[in-house]
Amino acid sequence: MQLLSTTLAALTVLASVASANPYIYKPVAASHYKAGDSFTVSWRDNGEAPLSSTYGTTDIMLYTGSALQQVQLAKLGSIADPSKVTEQRITIDPSWGPDSDQYFIRIQSQSAQDASGAPLQAFSARFQLTQMTGQWSSSVKAALASNSTVAATSAASAGSAATTSRRVAGSAVSTSSSASASTGSSSSMSGSASASAASASKSATSGAGKVAVGAAVGVVGVVALALAA
């Protein structure tokens, strides 16, 4: 239960990151840049609070890590008003880190905060950098390891839930089949009883049959008397 709670908490953080405003629409998850390349980080309001006009002076930074542990790799620039200036041109320094698809952009207000007291922030999708010459620090490796743990735990929880669902469904089918078999058996017994009654009735119409039926009735009568006594 504690493990599931931790997983749900991590997923909640990921969901809040994904819905942050302003929306950084470049780079995207499919973006792939090489060391020395220049590209533009671009964002726009998605209509949700907080609007970028409330950010004030905002820093644009390169990060890596997990939803819970993020490590800044480089400060890429600052914008006085991200509602008026909606992009930042950057050039990739190969020393920022190794080849990886775990880089993302984080923009953060220098002074504005949300209701919890945290600085206003927005994040891009993770993207890939190659031909890099840097190395991850120990803190970055720890943050990325925690990200893998959360992902693995989420997958395991989902797999366990699916297995349980299949078992419950299988049990229901088995119970239904058993019930159907029991119904069929009852129907068979009822049919057999009906056939016996019909056979007895038919036998009663012949002389030989009268003796057999009379004996049977006599036995039933003895059993009835014994039960009454």
DSSP class per residue in 61-82: EEEEE-SS-EEEEEEEEEES-T
Choose between 6 and 75: higher pLDDT: 75
CATH fold, domain 2-150, is Immunoglobulin-like (2.60.40)
* C-alpha to C-alpha distance for 226 and 176, rounded to whole angstroms: 41
Q: What is the mean pLDDT of residues 46-72?
A: 94
Q: Which pLDDT score is estimated for 159?
A: 55
Q: Which pLDDT score is estimated for 62?
A: 98
**Is residue 128 within 8 Å of 74, Cβ to Cβ?**
no
Q: Which pLDDT score is estimated for 146?
A: 84
Q: Which pLDDT score is estimated for 201?
A: 44
Reading the block at residue 187, the tokens are 């129907």
* C-alpha to C-alpha distance for 117 and 224, rounded to whole angstroms: 88
- Assign 123 a pLDDT band (cuts: 50, 70, 90): very high
pLDDT digits (tens, 9 = 90+) for 157-215: 555 555 555 555 555 555 555 555 555 554 555 455 444 444 444 443 433 333 333 33
First to last CA, the chain: 63
Burial of 66 (0-12, 13-18, 19+ CB in 10 A): buried
Sorted by where each begins, the domain ranges of the chain are 2-150
Q: Which pLDDT score is estimated for 178?
A: 55
Distances in whole angstroms, Cα of residue 206 to Cα of each of 104, 202, 209, 210, 213: 97, 8, 5, 6, 10
